[in-house]
Amino acid sequence: MAISEEQIRDILGEILVHPLALFSFKIKTSSLSMIMEVVLDHLENQYGSVSVQDCEEVSRELNKRMEILDPEADYQLTVQSAGAERTLRIPGDLHRFQGLLASLEILNEESKSTLGVYKILEVKDDKIRLEPFHGKGKKKKDSSGIWETDIGKVTKGKLYLHI
């Protein structure tokens, strides 16, 4: 008996309880085996980071339930956190990660993409207020660098971790 992607998603839906959530799920199948990649999100962590222990627990429980469904199933499983420099889901994650740094691709007036690192100051209605990040611990003391644009002009992004 082959285990379907829908069955696996159903199992994950039962396993994952708030504040853990599914960030992404990929499955690759061949005639001989299946490769699954489960990426988790922590809805109450500032960066959405999931602990190693959370990943291990989800992996154990998923393996246990897969064994019950099909003891002969041949698969490889990876369970991991979306990470501190996760890809942002626009526009929802812009709201969620206000106050954090993000590397964002934004369309300018000529509809060309520009890439920069910004602190997400505020997201309200269809607008986003951003402050350019200059790195090296240098922060401008005035607010002249703060600007606002339409959320729709942010085409993609990821959290930016500055150490």
Q: Which residues contact 98 (CB under 8 A, 6 or more apart)?
A: 120, 121, 122, 123
pLDDT at 141: 52
Judge contact between 105 and 156, C-beta under 8 A.
Answer: yes
Over the stretch 53-86, which tens digit does the pLDDT of each residue have? Answer: 999 999 999 999 999 999 998 999 999 999 989 9
Judge contact between 40 and 57, C-beta under 8 A.
Answer: no
pLDDT at 129: 97
What does pLDDT average to in each consecutive run of 10 residues of the chain (163 residues)?
88 96 93 90 94 97 95 93 93 95 94 93 96 73 77 96 84
Q: Which fold has domain 92-159?
A: SH3 type barrels. (2.30.30)
- Give residue limits of the domains in the chain: 5-81, 92-159
pLDDT at 134: 84
Which residues pair with residue 79 across a beta bridge?
Answer: 38
pLDDT at 68: 94
pLDDT at 143: 53
- Name the superfamily (CATH) of residues 5-81: RimP-like superfamily, N-terminal (3.30.300.70)
CA distances from 78 to 55, 56, 63 (A): 9, 10, 11
pLDDT at 119: 96
